[in-house]
Amino acid sequence: MAGYRIKKGAGPTQAQRRAERRRARLAERMAAASTPQDRIAAAAEHLRGVVKTAPAHVAERAAAQAVQVLCGLAEELLAATTRRRGA
């Protein structure tokens, strides 16, 4: 067998290192976020990056759930804003 072989227990895998980098970047972006919009954008970018590497069926399920939650929150905010202005 030709090529480099990864030895078990030889340290974190490439996927583990990638996940650590993604989490660190999210923490940096959240710390730098000064508005709710910035925090939402940081979280969305984090999710977008993770979805790229997930299996298709898992990514689809996560996307459906994220879209449902985000749209639900947006509707709640719109309703609250409409009630406040209309009152």
Higher local confidence (pLDDT), 1 or 53: 53
Global pTM value: 0.77
- The sign of the dihedral angle between the CA atoms of 64, 59, 51, 23 is positive
Residue 83 pLDDT = 78
Mean pLDDT over 57-67 rounds to: 97
- Location of structure tokens 């996927």: 15
Buried b / exposed e across 9-35, counting CB within 10 Å, b at 16+?
Answer: eeeeeeeeeeeeeeeeebeebeeeeee
Per-residue pLDDT tens for 2-58?
A: 666 666 677 888 889 999 999 999 999 999 999 999 999 999 999 999 999 999 999
Q: Taking the domains of the chain in order of start, what are their residue ranges? A: 12-53, 55-87
**Higher pLDDT, residue 64 or 8:** 64
Q: What one-character-per-residue DSSP string does 30-56 give? A: HHH--SHHHHHHHHHHHHHHHHHHS-H
